Amino acid sequence: MSFDIKSFSTGPFQTNVYIVFSTNSRQAVAIDPAPESTDRIIQILEQKNKTLSAIWLTHSHWDHTADCSFLLEYQKVPVLVHKHDADNLVHPGADGLPAFLDMQPVTPTKYIENGEVLTIGESRWEVIHVPGHSPGSVCFYNQEEGVLISGDTLFAGTMGNISFPTSSPHLMGTSLFRLSSLPPSTRVFPGHGRATTIEAERNWMLDAAEGLAEEKK
């Protein structure tokens, strides 16, 4: 296996933070640095003797991005986010969601796009654009090992909130339908809660996708 994943939950909504590190190089990526995650991320990096090479964001809601600025103080690395969620990093609160803490602006280094392939050492991760919970929500998919880091699009037994100011129920339906086509054995690591598989979630995902499509008619 060309990578390993370490995760923990933190912040007022127990957001899952993921550190994906290469097994054949010193590279590591932090995904969704939630509130109060910086010290733990640094601790894990030092324990594993890894160097932070980038910050990847599944979306820009504050409970997934609050420690971006603090992590950048530790090490200046590229910050990757989809362009449709970028403004909320530069202007915290632009998404209309109330935050429980002061957010420091962060300028994205790179806009990631659907179908783009990112690397961590020798592992390859496809960006899957899954709008719905937010306009620029993405998943990171490693086909080789069957791993999907799904952010707040797909959880065990449910989907992300679609009642926020920038959410879209119709687009969430399309995104769920798309994710349901991944191999059943794909392991899903969500933004909150426990891990699951596409097989375990597929039936309700298809039902939800159909229902959301009907609502648009």
Q: Is 121 helix (H, G, I), strand (E, B) or coil?
A: coil
Average pLDDT rounded to a whole number, residues 53-78: 97
Residue 216 has pLDDT above 70, yes or no: no
Return mean pLDDT, the chain. 95
Q: What is the dihedral of CA 1, 47, 60, 170, to 10 degrees?
A: 30
Strands 117-120 and 123-129, by their bridges, are: antiparallel
Residue 217 has pLDDT above 70, yes or no: no
Q: Residue 117 phi/psi, 5° resolution?
A: -110, 120
In percent, the amount of the chain with pLDDT more than 90 equals: 92
Sign of the alpha-carbon torsion through 192, 79, 39, 67: negative
**Residues ≥6 apart with Cβ < 8 Å to 93:** 99, 103
Residue 7 has pLDDT above 60, yes or no: yes
Average pLDDT rounded to a whole number, residues 102-112: 93
In this prediction, residue 98 carries a pLDDT of 81
Per residue in 161-197, pLDDT tens? 999 999 999 999 999 999 999 999 999 999 999 999 9
In this prediction, residue 35 carries a pLDDT of 96
Q: Domain ranges for the chain, please list them.
A: 3-216
3-216 has which CATH code?
Answer: 3.60.15.10
In this prediction, residue 173 carries a pLDDT of 96
Instruction: Give the pLDDT band (50/70/90) at residue 19.
Output: very high
Residue 142 has pLDDT above 70, yes or no: yes
Between 173 and 97, the higher pLDDT residue: 173
